[in-house]
Chains A and B, each alone.
Chain A
Amino acid sequence: MIQTKIDERGYYGRFGGAYIPEMLHANVEELRRTYLTMMADPEFQREFDLLLKDYVGRPSPLYYADRLSKHYGAKIYLKREDLNHTGAHKINNTIGQILLAQRLGKKRIIAETGAGQHGVATATVCALKGLQCIVYMGEVDIERQAPNVARMRMLGAEVRPARSGSRTLKDATNEAIRDWIANPEDTHYIIGSVVGPHPYPDMVARFQAIISEETKWQLQEKLGRDYPDAIVACVGGGSNAAGAYYHYLNDERVRLIAVEAAGLGVDSGESAATSQLGTEGIIHGSRTLLMQTEDGQIVEPYSISAGLDYPGIGPLHAFLIDSERAEAISVTDDDALAAALFVARQEGIIPALETAHAFAALDQMKYGPEDVIVVCLSGRGDKDLAAFSAYLDSDSLD
């Protein structure tokens, strides 16, 4: 049995840790010291559970996708995180972190966002709790995810463009870290994925763990057994995957499938398939797999999906893939678009582009007709309608 719990320094095996400058130490250390105690507090639990139920709309359904099941020849269940308030799994984490920030007495919230789902989820909880909210977003992403930018502004958040580097998620993260360095006392940084220095990867995974906690009893109710044969989830930083896997990490009956964005193709030079293209190093405070040059310069990734366009993966996923507990599959832009269209027309559900990668992986997997497969439907596709429309108008369909 592999050990998937972090050690006291925040390592999963040799991945993780907190490689941060001293300027961030006091804040990160405060979180590290307090997050488990705060999360275990019954009053925290009560408030967290109540908000997840009445505000987010949990539990999210576990839906048996009949037509997809017939098509693929397996029993396919969709964990409907797209039905959460704000339309994705991201809000599970932001609800948790805003409650922590309140308990730490923070007045100002910062966040980074790629697809804008985490930005919207952060802006939402800040509005809910009356806290100031600043979201850093790459200039490129601001353009390709315009609806989410409008939502954040509507919710009262300030969206600050990240103009350095590739002007995407990695650079938005750098800007957010800088903001935290400049504002160490009144500010909490809500990281949106299982990345960053310890304790973020573990903390975010614990907040997202609600996904697999529900999956367990939902499967028990439907099938009389509380585990699937495989869980499929897309991985950018990897927070929906971490949540969907969490309660099955040590259950080796369950295959864990991590789906990465291949962009234009793994070997095209325009890709974000970190587990294949990455090597061990440090990104955003964490030792993990990342795409980099021989000299340790971080490479600009590419994917049509702004949420998967990240050159690293969370240290938990690096550990799971390195130890062969999880299998990585990569999916190109085109295959993801085709899968989104297919799912929309088979099931009447328009998935986010990120999630579409997870669906496309079903074409590459091997399974038997009795196999139970849970796909984490991490978000809805409204934000991606421009990309889908372009695809519908393109020649790709001929």
Chain B
Amino acid sequence: MNRLSRLFSEKDRDVLNIYFTAGYPALDSTVPIIRSLAEAGADLIEVGMPYSDPMADGETIQQSGMRALENGMTLRVLFEQLTEARRHTDVPLVMMGYYNQVMQYGPKRFVEAARAAGVDGLILPDLPAFEYQRDFKQLVEDAGLEVTFLVTPQTTDDRIRQIAESSSGFIYVVSSASITGGSSQISDKQRAYFDRIAALDLPNPKLIGFGISDAETFRTACEYFNGAIIGSAFIRALGKDEDRVEETTQSFVRGILEPTLSTTKR
């Protein structure tokens, strides 16, 4: 069973998904970050493939990506690092990047390398549904990978249903129409949007991302769906003390989880 499916079958609430950019702050940070995240209690890890032109990401993630590329990160290096990380942990790993990266690597070769490295899922925000169905769906299904699609406040109910049908992976609920690293408060308007998605009663697990930055926003997000994704806030934390990646990672995750654990025991 895919580690993602297993995770959601065993745990349907308070799922903590942490995003980081592979190769930041240093080329060899990937394995220690994954290990520390898993040890500290992250349920799911999203590994960003650094990209020169990350259309859907904010400045924090773009800057970390530029640094990672300067550090020499490539997909070949990243697959080696993920293979190594997989020897140490069973935490579900999802790769996030842009379709051009997959296209240049070769879709089939990419999917095979991801599976061999112990990757469980993919997020490619600029891969359109039609092209996914035509060029990619069979490949990822054969490899046992799950693909996650994004939905936003502008996504119509019909389209959300189509997205849910085209993939068994978790749905990435973009918390507001904004790029990553934005606002830290969840507004009434956002709550209304979450209610609308909840009312669709989709079978897929749902995680909220964008604008989730601390224990409080994580807790609020978890009231609505299965969990939440934190990215830019973690990247910023890593940037504050680049020499102590493991300690920073552990204390960041504890800072999110400990208050949550104490308040969600109802």
Contacts and interface: CB of A to CB of B under 8 A. Distances in A.
Contact of B128 (A20, A164, A177, A181): A20
Nearest to A166: B52
A182 B56 CA distance: 10
Given A21-B125, A297-B69, A184 B177 contact: yes
Interface stretch (A33-41, A140-148, A244-252, A277-285): A277-285
A184 B56 CA distance: 13
A189 to B, nearest CB: 13
A283 B128 contact: no
Most buried by B among A20, A23, A170, A279: A23
A292 B51 CA distance: 11
B56 A297 contact: no
B126 A19 contact: yes
B190 to A, nearest CB: 14
Contacts of A297: 51-52, 69
Contacts of A296: 51, 98, 100-105
Contacts of B179: 23, 178, 181-182
B151 A22 contact: yes
A23 B152 contact: yes
A292 B56 contact: no
A295 interface: yes
Nearest to A295: B74
Contact of A18 (B53, B55, B74, B128): B128
B155 interface: yes
A19 B132 CA distance: 11
Chain B CB count within 10 A is highest, among A181, A294, A298, for A181
Contacts of B128: 17-20
A174 B98 CA distance: 14
A275 B150 CA distance: 34
A281 B104 contact: yes
Interface string B47-62: 0000111011011001
Contacts of A57: none
Interface of B: 51-53, 55-56, 58-59, 62-63, 66, 69, 74-75, 98-105, 125-128, 130-131, 149-152, 154-156, 159, 174, 177-179, 182
